[in-house]
Amino acid sequence: MGAANDAARAAQSQRLLNLGFTRWDAMRVGGSSAELARVRVWKGESRDVALGLAGETLLAVPHQRRGRIQPRIEVRKLVEAPVTAGQPLGRLTLVADGETLAEYPLVAREPVELGGFFRRLVDTALLWLE
């Protein structure tokens, strides 16, 4: 880093690390059991399915923005069975002060199998009326 000796280089490196730790926070996003939304599933055994993140991640956030982060959740309008666990069905966007900090896919937490004949018949009729 252009320092005169090893001690000066170590001091500059330590100062940079301290600056990073005082101005940035690590924010944990998601988790294996976190349900962030539910979406309607047409023609399936279940009427809806829970959505969450595929895993847990850490996001580096400027310290002054941490309290101003707003989540925005978008889900697909039409989801038809079958749905597999882990299938992307939406998106989580983290926004602070109008700036997008991160985007993560929202995935189905459990599978939804195709429903029986009457469930599919009723849901098909309801979809025609929509």
Model-level pTM greater than 0.85? no
Helices (H), the chain: 6-23, 117-129
Domain count across the chain = 1
CATH number at residue 102: 2.60.410.10
Backbone angles phi, psi at 117, to 5 degrees: -55, -50
Q: What pLDDT is attached to residue 13? A: 84
Asked if residue 68 belongs to a domain, the reply is yes
Q: What pLDDT is attached to residue 3? A: 67
Domain that holds residue 37: 24-129
Give the integer Cα–Cα distance in Å for 91 and 105.
Answer: 4
Regions in the chain scoring below 50 on pLDDT: none
